Amino acid sequence: MGKEKDTKAWDHGRPTALDVRVVSSLQSRTVQRASEDPDAALLVAKAEKIATHAQACHDVGVCFIPLCVEAVSGWEEEAQKTILKIVHLQA
């Protein structure tokens, strides 16, 4: 199977927008929540990305995937899966 066919496997061949955001759980607006939930900053960042861009992408037929990473603890769970999928498609 050629690379062209492999990349079309992504979301049934639809164009895809990957949007990366790096956040810190130490930022003032999430530090209190992060003390109770270590993923709080990631969840806020992902929700903001989706609220800002998902509908516009959907309207033009583009799959929108937010990739959020926390500066200390690493990638959000769905972002990890997406990155692994990219790696497997390119292998």
pLDDT over 90, % of the chain: 55
Residue 87 backbone dihedrals phi, psi, to 5 degrees: -60, -45
The reported pTM is 0.79
Beta bridge partners of 57: none
Is residue 51 within 8 A of residue 65, CB to CB? The reply is no
Distance CA 8, CA 76 (A): 24
Average pLDDT over residues 8-28: 84
Q: Averaging pLDDT over each range in 1-10, 26-35, 69-78, which range is the top one?
A: 69-78
What pLDDT was estimated at residue 8? 52
Q: What is the mean pLDDT of residues 6-14?
A: 64
What's the mean pLDDT in 50-69? 95
Residues 58 and 74 sit within 8 Å (Cβ to Cβ): no
Q: How far is CA 61 from CA 9, 16, 18, 78, 91, in A?
A: 16, 9, 14, 21, 27
β-partners of residue 20 are 67
